[in-house]
Amino acid sequence: AQKVTQAQTEISVVEKEDVTLDCVYETRDTTYYLFWYKQPPSGELVFLIRRNSFDEQNEISGRYSWNFQKSTSSFNFTITASQVVDSAVYFCALSGLMGYSTLTFGKGTMLLVSP
Amino acid sequence: EAGVTQSPTHLIKTRGQQATLRCSPISGHTSVYWYQQALGLGLQFLLWYDEGEERNRGNFPPRFSGRQFPNYSSELNVNALELEDSALYLCASSLVVQGAGETQYFGPGTRLLVL
């Protein structure tokens, strides 16, 4: 069975602070995919990133960066210089072989960035 | 390019009634997924359709059903509505490409309220 744990239920920061959202996963699959989605108050889930289990390179996209560590089964997400518009619920998700495995989501971390 | 669309945005029903939710995938996508996001329960997988067939089903009773049409749009039907069916229902679409991975893109959701 697959499991995704986002231990941080809610994080509050002040604008321009850096913030890291933690994600720990469990799977027996040797090939799997990890995702981060953002859910603003409007409700729509916005895709942010997908990583393959065989590619442990970290990635940076603007103010966003992701740290994938297979040894600790973690896929953490960092927002640098946070902005009020970053306020949302962030979900980490896991899937097995595409087409045969659906997404397993963590419970989400609510990020509140105040001015 | 248009994203995933869902209708209606809001739906109010009473216990025992039936609800029909609709989803149009991104052009070219053949897979449609349905998820339920109920308060306190997180995102739970409901159904997966691909090429007109039901491929997988989550842990939900049979009164949750659906179908996928030849144009790949999909319908979710919930019969004999119960109060606990009140939730945000999210539809996602994807294109499964062998060896290239799969990313699910989500629509804005339908908020169902059962009174």
Distance CA A35, CA B68 (A): 26
CB nearest to B42's CB, from A44, A52, A108: A108
The pLDDT tens digits of the residues spanning A38-88 come to 999 888 999 999 888 888 778 888 999 999 999 999 999 999 999 999 999
DSSP state, residue B26: P
Please give the torsion angle defined by the CA atoms of residues B86, B21, B7 and B4, in that order, rounded to the nearest 10 degrees.
Answer: 100
Identify the contact set of chain A against chain B, taking CB-CB distances under 8 A. 33, 35, 37, 42-47, 50, 52, 91, 95, 98-99, 102-108
The pLDDT tens digits of the residues spanning B63-107 come to 999 999 999 999 999 999 999 999 999 999 998 776 666 889 999
